[in-house]
Copies of this chain bind each other. A is one copy, B any other.
């Protein structure tokens, strides 16, 4: 697929994806039109359909993948080496900062919701993202275990799952209420409960 793209073609394709991502960070999928994307990327409709023959959904899916990659990248390098309590706190700050800045928009969320079950592969994007995210958290907890900071019998999977869910909900509440209180609470509480587990 797209093997035959020249360097110029690839550049244009990327420009479309990034431009579309920019558009979708400003307006909701249900409102954004191909014309918006054309205007923002200085492309014509034929180019859009040239690079995404299946049409709008294929383009949106590509944007969703692009955004999903961004989510974890934005948490690096912290998320990748959660091997001390200090590292956990730095990561916490990074997450709060990232989502406070992003504000009320959730391009990836609306995208996947919009594509929904009609577009095969849309769900996979978010499922994969969540799995990776959770794995990173689990790895971090295990790192604390091997560092002797946490007891070996801790249920790592459950902790990681609960933490991930908390973050998602915190972000959701940040986006719907405009306040980061919940996100902060869930991270603080999650980490301090983890620390407390160390003492027992």
Contacts and interface: CB of A to CB of B under 8 A. Distances in A.
Nearest to A27: B116
A165 B159 contact: no
A181 interface: yes
Interface stretch (A38-46, A141-149, A188-196): A188-196
B165 A182 contact: yes
Contacts of A189: 158-159, 162, 193
Interface stretch (A56-64, A82-90, A122-130): A122-130
Given A123-B176, A161-B181, A165-B169, 10 more contacts: A28-B113, A28-B116, A29-B30, A30-B30, A162-B166, A162-B189, A164-B182, A168-B169, A189-B193, A193-B196
